[in-house]
Amino acid sequence: MRAARQAVDLLLRAENTWRFEDPQHGLSDQEWMVLRFLARANSFSRSPSALAQFVGTTRSAVSQLLKGLEAKGYVERRPSVEDKRSVSLRVTPQGDKMLTRDPIGPLVNAISALELGANNFRDALRDVLGRLGTNQHRHHADNCGECIFLSSASDPAKGKAQMEFTCRFFRSGINSAEMDLLCFKFEQRRLDRAGG
Ligand code: SF4
């Protein structure tokens, strides 16, 4: 238990990399959160309402954040391909350039350099959050691989090695590029607790 408490203390010390009072490189911590999310969000998650759900705030608060990012040229709106009445948010090339200065960059680099491996660290954190029931928390987005809504089948025309993926929530095919993107409707598959 002592080591677990120390681990939590250490996690809390990392918090100031993503939460801060004064803007960093001209953006607030929430603006960074929005820019970071949109850069990695799948097509279902690039709307103001999805963003409000991810950030854990109201549509009007998200609208203000988006206005600021659009005025700075980091984000733009386009008509959604699926539904012309909706908008799809996109990070501009200028926004991509800004993301190279993301305050969480050093944390990402430090995790990449871990001797135990970033994959193992990620899986351990995912396990911890799964035990906490992350559905009750904000900022809950992840990729399709661990989601209960993903179904897969092999395509006989392409051979066994070629799997076709479908999202049962959005009733849509998922291509390999989308598999690694963040989704606001992600729900964690039940974790195997054997031995735990
Ligand atoms: S499978 Fe899950 S994570 Fe992937 S698009 Fe569907 S709801 Fe989102």
**Is residue 20 included in any domain, yes or no?**
no
Q: How far apart are CA 12 and CA 14, in angstroms?
A: 5
Residue 196 lies in a domain: no
Binding pocket residue ranges, ligand 1, CB within 6 Å: 42, 44, 144, 147, 149-150, 167, 169-170, 174, 183, 185-186
**Do 90 and 155 have their domain in common?**
no
How far, in Å, is the centroid of ligand 1 from the Cα of 127? 19
What are the pLDDT digits (tens) for 97-126? 999 999 999 999 999 999 999 999 999 988
**Minimal-distance CA residue to ligand 1 atom 6:** 167
Give the type of residue at 118. A
E strands, 116-175, are 150-154, 163-167, 172-174
| 128 lies in some domain | no
Percent of the chain with pLDDT over 90: 64
Residue 146 has pLDDT above 90, yes or no: no
186 CA → ligand 1 middle, Å: 5
Q: Decide which of 49 and 195 is more confident.
A: 49
What's the number of domains the chain is made of?
2
Which of 46, 79, 99 finishes a domain? 99
Give the position, in ligand 1's atom list, of the atom nearest the Cα of 42: 5
Contact 51, 38 (CB under 8 A): yes
Contact between residue 59 and residue 42 where contact means Cβ atoms under 8 Å apart: no
* Predicted pLDDT at 196: 37
Look at residue 139 in the predicted model and tell me its pLDDT: 65
Q: 45 or 140, which is more confident?
A: 45
- Per-residue tokens: 196: 């735990």
Has residue 181 been placed in a domain?
A: yes
CATH number at residue 47: 1.10.10.10
Rounded distance from Cα 169 to ligand 1 centre (Å): 7
140 vs 160: which has the higher pLDDT: 140
State the closest ligand 1 atom to the C-alpha of 165, by its place in the atom list counted from 1: 1
Mean pLDDT of the chain: 88
Query: Do residues 146 and 188 make contact, with C-beta atoms less than 8 angstroms apart?
Result: yes
The position carrying tokens 């809950």 is: 140
Q: Show the domain range for 78.
A: 25-99
pLDDT at 168: 95
Task: Quote the CA–CA distance of 31 and 23 in Å, as a whole number.
Answer: 9
Q: How far apart are CA 125 and CA 57, in angstroms?
A: 24
